[in-house]
Amino acid sequence: MILYKFYTNIYILFSIVLLMKKEKIESKEVLFRDSPPYPVEIINSEGSYLIGKDGKRYLDFMAGWCVGNAGWKKKEILNAIKNFKGPEYVLPNYIYKRWEDLATKIIDLLPKGEWTCFRATGGTEANEIALKMSRAYNKRKKFLAFKGAYHGQSIACLSLVKIPDHEEHFGKFSDDYLQINANDWENTTKEAVKIIKGGEISAFISEPIICNLGVIIPPKYFFDEIIKACKETNTLFICDEVATGFGRTGKWFGFEHYNLEPDIITIAKGFSSGYAAIGATIAKQNVAESMRFDFSNYSTFGWHPLSVEVAISNIDYIKNNKLVDKSNKNGQYLLEKLSEFCNAEGKGLCIGIKEIKKGVDLRCLKDGLIISIVEGRIVLFPPLDVSKDEIDKAVEIIRKNID
């Protein structure tokens, strides 16, 4: 009997393995996609263009969603990769001078004060570090954010914003995460101030200009009142500059439009202009002190030596080529041209178009222009040195396809 059961179990196990093998062979989806990709295979990039397998050149007005701020194939940044001599890797708890060099370079871009950097591989990790730090700083567990915005894919980052449907699939998120709406600013401001003044919120986190809701620009009084309430209650303000940083909005950082100073700033994307994977959390030193305990943070690939070289040369490239200025000027020109026929708003080259019809992204793609639609708005994030001719060409494609 025992022998019979043993052989039966072996038989079942063998059948399952065979079935799994067969399924794997038959399934074509070796790479998971949550939704179908756009029907273009990208094989290269150059300047403001992506090049498809069919040889067609696509005007890239997304730049990888605020990633390629410097533009593609810039030899100064590619040289940093070509000339990299090592070390191939440095264990995070050793000394590596280029980490200090990069940290100094970032801090030099910020308002004068005592800042310190934490190494990360991208935006989600940078925001996770910010949330952890905030909890360690004021020993509170609650966070406030804009509903439906975006700060990354970790459970904490998704809990912050409660994207519709997510709780249905992932289960209920913690009640420690509170949201406000990014509209009806007078009421939103009152509600947010009331929540913060309750004294239980660890931090309010937001993009300065909310790219992930289709480029929404909160009024100055909103941030003024939020910061005042935060100061009164020892609540932190985490400014997510992952998308808006490095010249995207016509300033080095989006918060400069509001003349305010965050307690923590998170960066990624334009930090390397997409030539390497890197992110950072930059905090006021008194806030960062709360992380001075064993194993408060660790990142195996945070600030990989090669990514550090890329980030340093990217910052130099943006400075030397006055790309922040260009973003401002090119953005004004693009906004003027768009305003002739549609309802556009934005800062620098961070632009959203309201009241659009479905399918405009695919129609534009067919005509050789890459754009995205989010929350019923077109978003445009071209490289910061996009030329006037390229802007004119993109505007004509949008004009033709918007209705």
Q: Of 149 and 397, which has the nearer Cβ to ligand PLP?
A: 149
Q: Which residue is nearest to ligand PLP (CB)?
A: 123
Non-local (6+) Cβ contacts of 246 within 8 A are: 69, 252, 253, 267, 269, 270, 271, 273, 314, 315, 318
According to DSSP, the residues that pair with 236 across neighbouring strands are 203
Least spacing, CB of residue 105 vs ligand PLP, in Å: 20
- Under rule CB under 6 A, residue 150 binds ligand PLP: yes
- In this structure, are residues 271 and 115 in contact, taking their beta carbons and an 8 Å threshold? no
Least spacing, CB of residue 223 vs ligand PLP, in Å: 16
Least spacing, CB of residue 66 vs ligand PLP, in Å: 7
Compose the 47-86 pattern: x for residues touching ligand PLP by CB under 6 A, - for all others: ------------------x---------------------
Burial tier of 277 (Cβ tally within 10 Å: 0-12, 13-18, 19+): middle
CA angle centred on 181, ends 180 and 183, rounded to 5°: 140
Q: Of 51 and 161, which has the nearer Cβ to ligand PLP?
A: 161
The Cα–Cα gap between 383 and 345 comes to 18
Q: Of 71 and 152, which has the nearer Cβ to ligand PLP?
A: 152
Q: How far apart are the first and last CA of the chain?
A: 74
Q: Of 51 and 351, which has the nearer Cβ to ligand PLP?
A: 351
320 CB neighbour count, 10 Å cutoff? 10
Non-local (6+) Cβ contacts of 284 within 8 A are: 113, 114, 115, 263, 264
- Out of 45, 124, 249, 273, the residue judged to bind ligand PLP by CB under 6 A: 124
Which helix (H) or strand (E) segment holds residue 144: the answer is strand 142-146
Q: Of 127 and 134, which has the nearer Cβ to ligand PLP?
A: 127
- Under rule CB under 6 A, residue 128 binds ligand PLP: no
- Under rule CB under 6 A, residue 240 binds ligand PLP: yes
- Under rule CB under 6 A, residue 242 binds ligand PLP: yes
Residues that bind ligand PLP (CB under 6 A): 65, 122-124, 127, 150-152, 207, 211-212, 240, 242-243, 268
